[in-house]
Amino acid sequence: MAPIAVGDVVPEGTISFFDENDQLQSVSVHTLAAGKKVILFGVPGAFTPTCSMQHVPGFIEKAEELKSKGVDEIICFSVNDPFVMKAWGKTYPENKHVKFVADGSGEYTQLLGLELDLKDKGLGVRARRFALLLDNLKVTVANVEAGGEFTVSSADDILKAL
């Protein structure tokens, strides 16, 4: 499947997360993003070095600025279970705006065409590192990294595009 691209409508699919009341929610991406400007940024793995020390902190630090430019939701996405994503999110006590969501079986990652095969490293199939800007479900920016790079999908890259 070809990777999601600018002009595409994000596919319908289900992701999971723990809400502010610590209740597990499984919701459709369309429900989360319809009628909104949303950043969906994906990482290969929770607790991994580049994801934990650069990618996620950048979106947390720039969240107010992103919101001031019209962004309604900032969603961190990974092929992990929702319990891992919840635990990872709690390692950022300063976070007020980034929602940590799980694609437990990688099905939504496959619908996006953004799989990263890391079986040779013992990590299975994960999501490629990416940052999508959605406007009412339509992709207006698609910054997708090659391999394990971190060169085009930062919060600063999205800010430049807004």
Q: Which residues of 53-77 are buried (b: 16+ CB within 10 A; e: fewer)?
A: eebbbbbbebbeebeeeebebbbbb
The residues annotated with a catalytic role in the active site are 51
Return the DSSP state at 11.
P
* Residues forming a β-bridge with 77: 42, 101
DSSP bridge pairs for 25: 17
Gap between the Cα atoms of 13 and 157, Å rounded: 26
Please give the model's pTM, rounded to 2 decimal places.
Answer: 0.93
Tokens 């400007």, residue located: 37
pLDDT in tens, the chain (162 residues): 679 999 999 999 999 999 989 999 999 999 999 999 999 999 988 887 787 778 899 999 999 999 999 999 999 999 999 999 999 999 999 999 999 999 989 999 999 999 867 778 877 677 888 999 999 999 999 999 987 789 999 999 999 999
CA distance readout (Å), 127 to 33, 76, 103, 113, 156: 19, 11, 9, 9, 21
Which tens digits make up the pLDDT trace of 28-69? 999 999 999 999 999 988 887 787 778 899 999 999 999 999
